[in-house]
Amino acid sequence: MTWADCALRRYLNGEFYDKFTEAEKAEIIPVWNKNYDNQWYGSKGGADTQDRIFLLSMEEAVCKYFGDSRSKLYNPGKNQRYWFERKDENNGKRTARLEGEKGDIWWWWLRSPGRVNVKAVYIHGDGNIGIQGNNILKGNLSDGRCTGGIRPALWLKLDADKED
């Protein structure tokens, strides 16, 4: 499974996107997403995609939007097999909490492939990156055991002439 063929991608760009109003949809900018191979395991990232709603890639989460830790991404330590870097100074920027500041800490998926293509790289609750990945079938909301999720991303047109 790759991001290009993923059911979550179809959902985000279909049913989820369709819940926006026509005016809101007009403000969402379609983007071309580069889907890189996993640098540590060589698993294929798949075809590049055009998306309106998407998940961040490992490169975006590590190098662009939550600080710049590219030196650690591209130069793994000899004992780093499953986790990116436990003491990365940017881990705190990547944490996600359910129900605000005091809520439970949850992991969240990225669109990058894990060790094998039935796993996707994820951000652990402490902000560390699970390079090996979580199984794409992990967790089930209906039984209350799911402790992870997604953080959908999108690009919006900002009109400087509009009044708030």
Q: Could you tell me the pLDDT band of residue 92, with boundaries at 50, 70 and 90?
A: confident
SS3 for 153?
A: strand
Q: What is the pTM of this model?
A: 0.81
Q: In the chain, what are the domain boundaries?
A: 3-156
The confidence score (pLDDT) of residue 85 equals 58
Average pLDDT, the chain: 81
Is beta strand 148-149 parallel, antiparallel or unpaired with respect to 105-113? Answer: parallel
Per-residue pLDDT of 1-37, as tens digits, reads 799 999 999 999 999 999 999 999 999 999 999 999 9
Q: Tell me what pLDDT residue 119 has.
A: 84
pLDDT at 132 over 90: no
Query: 6 vs 134, which has greater pLDDT?
Result: 6
User: What DSSP string describes 97-113?
Assistant: ETTSTTS-EEEEEEEEE
pLDDT (mean) for 54-83:
76
Q: Contact at 8 Å (CB) between 116 and 43?
A: yes
pLDDT band of residue 128 (cuts 50, 70, 90) is confident
23-37, 65-79, 116-130, 131-145: which has the minimum mean pLDDT?
131-145
SS3 state of residue 7: helix
Q: Please answer whether residues 105 and 96 qualify as being in contact, where contact means their C-beta atoms are separated by less than 8 angstroms.
A: yes
